[in-house]
Amino acid sequence: MKKTNPNPNANRNILRLAYVVSGVFVCMLLYLGYFLQFESGGVINNAYNPRVDLLSERVVRGEIQSSDGQILARTVTSEDGTERREYPFGSLYAHVVGYTGKGRTGLESLNNFYLLTSHVNLAEQVFNQFSGIKNLGDNVVTTLDSNLQQTAYDLLGDRRGAVVAMEPDTGKILAMVSKPDYDPNTIAEDWERLTADEEGEARLLNRATQGLYAPGSTFKILTLLEYLREHPDDWEEFHFDCDGLYENGEYTIQCYHGEAHGSQDLMQAFANSCNGAFAQIGLELDKGKFRTLTEEMLYNQELPLSLSYSRSSFSMTEDGDTWEILQTAIGQGKTQVTPIHQLLITAAIANGGTLMKPYFVDHVENAGGQEVKKFMPSSWGKLISAEEAASLTQFMSRVVTEGTGSALRTDAYTAAGKTGSAEFETGRETHAWFTGFAPAEAPQIAVTVIVEEGGSGGKAAAPIARGIFDAYFSE
């Protein structure tokens, strides 16, 4: 065969291309290795992955524990090998821990993969596999404090509503209660009754994250913030004479139970939750900026929350008419918020304006108690500036010392917060709100309480927060 003008560089170029191809393949294999080692755990814990359930044939689902080591969920294997998921505290942790069996909810769902993965030592694993014994799955240790959870549960009693508590500087959720509830131990038997829900109780709904309520006077925190932003220097000159009924043309706004607050400056108006004063403030605000502020505070936005939740909504636009403004400024009207969202705003104020991402799992450990994975606090970012946070804290402290939050007056610690009594249907009692934190000067815990049809926030909701703070600081 003839050799016409063979390119002398041909072999070198062939080798070059071979090296490039090899390099690309090495990158691809490293990517695959990285995926298998680090990313796969997060990826396969997905509702669309039918395979996770296969793991349960080899692994005994691990325990869910409170931060103080109480067992919130465990799998009991009977002698004939059948497994049953047991929730020793019954309905106490129903919504937050969730259930498994009829689908999965709550932490049972979020941590499905961890619970079905075993990190008992390798020799034991191999031995178990060979002898056909199931490995023990990892245990998920939550941030939930059993004492606070029990306190919140007892204080809410038979009333409908929700209580959520978290550490503002870490984002650890300490307690989450929603009522009415259900017993996850008997979820299969009760399923039809619960889903049919003939009494309209929505027992399966986690009101703490999914319940949407009018914020009522707790929304005045945002109205106040916008007013402070628009009047950085002269807000102290604010003055309002309250006779219990604010009239603007054909519209009237009443203070709670028609109480006349008399001459009010801004701080007093906030502490006494004077509707007239805040309705008037509302009229003065720049509606566009106000809407922007609410969206910065995560209204109409996604929350950094792994549990399923409802999105809070703020609907007033720049075209809002006078009635809409009057209503919106005092937290009535179409605005809707979830208790967890209220808590996040409150926690950000308590934490110098920085919102920490809320989380429920402190660490995952193997059946022998060795830590497998640790979750660290992480910041979502700034909701407001540190100065604004300090200023709002001052206002919220006055609510407790001189205003509607009197239930929290104590020498043991200084609390700060805001009450709310949200009207939702004429002729029915208002929903009672309280959202706040303590100690005001160096906050360690933030709490949001809602009691459906509880009446006034100060009387129905604030005492629950008081009980939780008392329990927390006596620990």
Partner 1 sequence: MTTLILEGSKYLMIFLMIYYAYLNFRFFGEKYDFRKLKLCRKQNGAMFLIHFLGFLSLYLSRGEEKILVFYGAQVLFFAFYLGLSRVFYRNISRLLLNNVCLLLSVGFLMLARLDMEKAVRQFVIAAAAAVISWIIPFIIDRVWQLSRIPWIYGGAGLALLLTVCVAGVTSYGAKMTLELGGISLQPTEFVKISYVFFVATMFYRSTDFRSVAVTTAMAAAHVLVLVLSKDLGNGLIFFLTYLFMLFVATGKWLYLTAGLGAGCLASAGAYALFPHVQTRVAAWLDPWSDVANKGYQIAQSLFAMGTGGWMGMGLDQGLPGKIPVVEKDFMISAIGEELGGLFAICLILICLGCFLQFMMIATRMQAMFYKLIAFGLGCEYIIQVFLTVGGAVKFIPLTGMTLPLVSYGGSSMVGTFILFSVIQGLYILKRNEEEDDEENESQS
- Report the interface residues with partner 1, using CB under 8 A: 1-11, 13-15, 17-18, 21-22, 24-25, 27-29, 31-33, 35-37, 39-41, 43-44, 46, 48-52, 54-55, 126, 129-132
- For 316, phi and psi rounded to 5 degrees? -65, 130
Locate 376 and state its tokens. Answer: 């660290």
What gap in Å lies between CA 78 and CA 84, rounded to an integer? 8
Nearer to partner 1, 34 or 101 (CB): 34
**Nearest distance from C-beta of residue 135 to partner 1, angstroms:** 12
**Nearest distance from C-beta of residue 365 to partner 1, angstroms:** 20
**Nearest distance from C-beta of residue 306 to partner 1, angstroms:** 14
**Nearest distance from C-beta of residue 462 to partner 1, angstroms:** 42
Nearer to partner 1, 128 or 406 (CB): 128
Nearer to partner 1, 130 or 234 (CB): 130
- Using CA atoms of 121, 127, 131, 136 in order, give the dihedral in degrees to the nearest 10: 0
Which residue in the block uniquely carries the two structure tokens 């104020």? 349
**Nearest distance from C-beta of residue 373 to partner 1, angstroms:** 16
| Residues forming a β-bridge with 425 | none
Nearer to partner 1, 134 or 287 (CB): 134
Sort 175 into a burial class: Cβ within 10 Å, 0-12 / 13-18 / 19+.
buried
**Nearest distance from C-beta of residue 18 to partner 1, angstroms:** 4
Residue of 384, 282, 259 whose CA lies nearest to 333: 282
Nearer to partner 1, 132 or 249 (CB): 132
Nearer to partner 1, 307 or 356 (CB): 307
What gap in Å lies between CA 329 and CA 290, rounded to an integer? 10
Tell me if 404 sits within 8 A of 273, measured CB to CB: yes
**Nearest distance from C-beta of residue 75 to partner 1, angstroms:** 20
Nearer to partner 1, 50 or 81 (CB): 50
What gap in Å lies between CA 65 and CA 441, rounded to an integer? 32
Residue 215 preceded by cis peptide, ω within 30: no
Nearer to partner 1, 27 or 245 (CB): 27
What are the C-alpha distances in Å from 154 to residues 162, 163, 202? 12, 11, 20
The secondary structure element, H or E, covering residue 471 is helix 462-473
**Nearest distance from C-beta of residue 124 to partner 1, angstroms:** 14
What is the DSSP secondary-structure string of 115-170? Answer: HT---S-HHHHHHHHHHTPPEEPPEEEES--HHHHHHHHHHHTTS-EEEEEE-TTT
**Nearest distance from C-beta of residue 13 to partner 1, angstroms:** 5
What are the C-alpha distances in Å from 420 to residues 218, 222, 453? 5, 13, 12
Nearer to partner 1, 205 or 372 (CB): 372
